[in-house]
Structure formats: C-alpha cells, structure tokens
Chains A and B, each alone.
Chain A
Amino acid sequence: MSAPKINPVEPAVHTLPSQVVKDDEPILVAAAKAGDISAFETLVGRYERKIFRLAQNITQNREDAEDSMQESFLKAFEHLGEFQGNSRFYTWLVRIAVNQALMKLRKRRPNQVSLDDDIDTGEELIPRDVEDWGPSPEDRYEQSELSNILNTTISELDPSFRVVFQLRDIEELSTEETAEALGLSVPAVKSRLLRARLKLRQKLNRYFRRSENS
C-alpha cells in the first residue's frame, strides 16, 4: 500500500474543540523529515494511544489493532518525505492508520459489507426514547466505567457507520477528509454520520437518561 496522497484542500473547521494538535508539531515533523528519529519517536508517543484506539474501533480485534498501529507508524516514517504540510500531520497519520486497519478488517472478514456499498437500512430516522439526560451525564460514571460504556456502545454499530463516526467526531477530520480517507462520497459520509450519531444517541440513552440515575 502506498501512503495516501496529501489533500491540498485545508480541512474545514470542525465545530468541536480540537485537543489534538500541539504548537510544536510542525517543528517535530520538520526534524523527523530531516532524519531526527527521536523527534519522530516523540510524535509516536504523542499519538500512539489515539491511533491504537482508532485501529481497535475499526478492527474490533486487539492483535489486528496492534499490527495496524505498528505498520502505520513505520509507513508514516518511510513516507514522511511525501508529507507536505498542507494538512495536519495527525490527519495524514490517521489516513494511513485507517488504510492499515481496513486492510486487516477485510482480510479477517472478507464477506462483510464493504464500506463503499450503498447502505439503505430502511430504518426510520425519527428517534425513539426522547428523554432528557441533564447536564454532563457522563460525570455520573467512573472513568473506567464510562470507557467501557463508550467502547461497548460504539462496537455495536455497523462498521461502515462506526468508522465514519470515528473519523468525524472522535478524530475530528472534516467531512471532505473523511470522504477521501474512506473512498466515499461526501453525501455518503453525511448520511452515515447522521445515522451513526442517532444510533449512538439511542444506545447511550439507556445509560444517561435522567430517570436511570436520579
């Protein structure tokens, strides 16, 4: 697999605050491009947890996630010369990791729905279980318990919805970047994102509704 081409279009502004990019990233990337392995290792240390979570959410298999993560960082280093800085380094890295993880997923489950298939679930989009959660419902749970809830809930999504939600709302890629990374059209990304958000809302409702915890 070759590393993904850099999208010359700057990412659209995501409305949620990004905690991803630190100010020194361009300096570290420039140093790594000049052959400074320590600088690259610093970048690895910064993103390894997020890339592992991304790979795990896509593959749903720890061994595959670990292999995907390793290959992603190694490929990123090998292809660093092709990174021109038109997008965030992290966005570029995410695209490599998505490709690696999807290859693993397809190898392990070749008969599963392809991500670029048209999905018409025939489901009505109108939400059920309309209940207020109150402010900060996540604070009612311990950190480890909350992590389990979030992991379990997202793992119940169809892979083609899960990966779109992961890239847009967790990794904070723009719609266009997500479409490019997954080889989908922008309307397909938007449609899947809406369904994924509604499905997750529905599933989280059983944990976060006020009546459950009041």
Chain B
Amino acid sequence: MNCRSIVRELSNYLDEALDSTLKASIEKHLEHCEDCKVVVDTTKQTIQIYCNSEPAPLPEDTRQRLRDALKKRLRGVRV
C-alpha cells in the first residue's frame, strides 16, 4: 500500500466500504505516514463540516411566495 493507493481508496475508506483486509493495510500505512494521515483527517473534517452545516433560513420574501404558491395550488386560495 503506497500513498497513491491510499488516495484512490480514500472515499471507500471514509465511507467504511472496504473489506477488512484492505482497511487493515490502509490503517497500517497511516500509522507511519503522517501526510496520508493528515489527508484522511482533513478530508473527513471537510465532509463533516458540510454535513453538519445548517441551511440558512429562507429569505422572508421567498418564504412568502412559497406559502402563496402552496395556498393557491393546494387549497385553491386566491392570493
């Protein structure tokens, strides 16, 4: 297992989609390769930061137009 193979398998490793043998050889490489460890850690952080980010509230005018469209089409209310 070399650094190039680690990058190629990075997504599968982070998604826990690897068989145990391949996973073990990646982890063995990470024990002694600081650069690959940093790449794995910072890529994992990238995913988590985006995954945990809360969407901003809808702008008020956008929310109102959505409400009006739903009322009109779902409830037949003239707006």
Interface string of B1-19 (1 = CB under 8 A from A): 0011001101110111000
A184 at the B interface (CB under 8 A): no
Instruction: Tell whether, in the assembled complex, residue B39 and residue A40 are in contact, meaning their CB atoms are under 8 Å apart.
Output: no
Closest to A18 in B: B51
CB contacts (< 8 Å) of A126 on chain B: these are 3-4, 7
> Interface size for chain A: under 10, 10 to 19, 20 to 34, or 35 or more residues?
35 or more
CB contacts (< 8 Å) of A127 on chain B: these are 7, 39
**Option from B8, B12, B50, B73 in Cβ contact (under 8 Å) with A170:** B50
Q: How far, in angstroms, from A119 to B78 measured CA to CA in the complex? A: 48
B20 at the A interface (CB under 8 A): no
**Option from A66, A133, A169 in Cβ contact (under 8 Å) with B62:** A66
Stretch at the interface among A44-52, A86-94, A99-107, A108-116: A44-52
Count A-B pairs with CB separation below 8 Å.
112
B21 at the A interface (CB under 8 A): no
Instruction: Tell whether, in the assembled complex, residue B41 and residue A49 are in contact, meaning their CB atoms are under 8 Å apart.
Output: no
What is the predominant secondary structure among interface residues of chain A facing chain B?
Answer: helix
CB contacts (< 8 Å) of B38 on chain A: these are 130-132
A37 at the B interface (CB under 8 A): yes
Instruction: Tell whether, in the assembled complex, residue A169 and residue B50 are in contact, meaning their CB atoms are under 8 Å apart.
Output: yes
A154 at the B interface (CB under 8 A): yes
**Option from B15, B35, B46 in Cβ contact (under 8 Å) with A15:** B15
Residues of B at the A interface (CB closer than 8 Å) are 3-4, 7-8, 10-12, 14-16, 35, 38-39, 41-43, 45-58, 62-63, 65-66, 69-70, 73-75
Residues of A at the B interface (CB closer than 8 Å) are 14-16, 19, 37, 40-41, 44, 48-50, 52-53, 62, 66, 69-70, 73-74, 77, 125-127, 130-133, 137-138, 146-147, 150, 154, 165, 169-170, 172, 175, 190, 193-194, 197-198, 200-201, 204-205, 208
Besides the contacts A15-B16, A125-B8, A193-B11, what 18 more A-B pairs have beta carbons closer than 8 Å?
A15-B14, A16-B47, A44-B66, A48-B66, A69-B66, A70-B65, A70-B66, A73-B70, A74-B73, A126-B7, A150-B49, A165-B50, A169-B47, A169-B50, A197-B11, A198-B43, A201-B39, A204-B42
